[in-house]
Amino acid sequence: MKTRPRGRARPRWIAAGLLVVGAAVVLGVAIGPVSLPPLGVALELLDRLPLVDIDSGLDETQANIVWLLRLPRVVLALLVGGMLALAGGCYQGVFRNPLADPMLLGVASGAGLGATLFITARAAGFPAAQGVLPIAAFVGAVGALLLTYLVGGVGKGGRNPTRLILAGVAVTSFLSAVQTYVQQRNAEAIRQVYSWLLGRLAVSGWNDVLTVLPYVAVTAAIVLTLRRELDVLTVGDDEASGLGLHPQRSRYLLLAAASLGTAAAVSVAGLIGFVGIIVPHIVRLLAGPSYRSILPLSVLFGGAFLVLADLLARVAVAPGELPIGVVTAFAGAPFFVLVMRTTRQEAL
């Protein structure tokens, strides 16, 4: 039986990913309370490229809507979606589990607790600027990751992917209980907490983009550089060691990078689930099983997916807005069941 050769992402899939990203960006910027012509938006974006001089036909007000209001939100969606999809593919490779998700290892619960503590403290009169919320969520996420790492090393046998998953489940349960207690003690802040927990991409300017960008860049650089090692890890530790790889060191470095990027994404956008499951699986079906293809394509298609999900969240109940986490859950829950069913059938 022939199998698809493992190798780097084919140029046609990279081109397709870039095309989808471009189309998603134009639609995300053009559609809103004030409709803008898609062609004019595309020309306006191209006009800012070096050595390009094009008259988009947009007036000053329309150009300000593009650059100051909508494009920051679309770029943030690209970064967060690409980061969550990349982390999902990385987790699935490290744990060799198709249901692995960026919300493993307590990252989401830690971020949720950090955000909850900040929101309740501000509601109680503690002076704090809104821009501190992502920092509080990020600190909580990294703290939870460190706690999971410590718990995963307790007892005999040392740390391994299975023990880390179990430790992540335990840490998630504990931190979620603490968060519930804090919410019950501060009922006046519950609405703000739930708004954040359901995910949101509402931004004012480019601050959130600049906050998350360095972490996304570092995570992407590390994970994409090591994507070949993920393919080697799939053959087993003994074979990987025979090929000159240090399996445990590679796993921990990949987990640390993916979790750091996830923490940064969660800190600015709240809890947005299922992106890390949906996108890598679709990419795997399209481009084959090699992580040299899955990871870079997941960045592109993950970013486009979240831009389109955010667009749907903005227009579905206009002039209101759905939490983006609700939109991804509607898409992700049936997909999760399908993946679980398929995985079980393959195992049988």
Q: Over its length of 348 residues, how does the chain's per-residue pLDDT go in tens digits?
A: 444 444 566 889 999 999 999 999 999 999 998 999 999 999 999 998 888 899 999 999 999 999 999 999 999 999 999 999 999 999 999 888 777 787 778 888 898 899 889 888 887 777 766 668 788 888 898 899 889 888 988 877 667 777 888 888 899 999 999 998 998 888 777 888 888 788 888 766 798 899 889 999 999 999 999 999 998 887 777 777 777 788 888 988 998 899 889 988 988 898 898 999 999 999 998 898 899 999 999 999 999 999 999 999 999 888 888 999 999 999 887 887 777 776 655 444
Structure-block tokens of residue 321: 């807005």
Cβ-proximal residues to 151 (8 Å cutoff; 6+ apart), any chain: 167, 170, 171
For residues 163-193, b (16+ Cβ closer than 10 Å) or e, as one string?
bbbebbeebbebbeeebeebbeebeebeebb
Q: How many residues does the chain have?
A: 348
Q: Closest Cα to residue 264, out of 226, 198, 219?
A: 219
Could you state, in order of their start, the residue ranges of all structural domains in the chain? 11-345
Give the C-alpha distances (Å, rounded to integers) separating 269 from 31, 51, 91, 135, 203.
21, 34, 20, 12, 9
Cα–Cα distance, 170 to 137 (Å, whole number)? 19
Cα–Cα distance, 162 to 165 (Å, whole number)? 5
Q: Which CATH number fits domain 11-345: 1.20.1440.230, 1.10.3470.10, 3.40.50.12160, 1.10.760.10?
A: 1.10.3470.10
DSSP 206: S
Cβ atoms of 141 and 114 closer than 8 Å: yes
Cα–Cα distance, 196 to 268 (Å, whole number)? 9
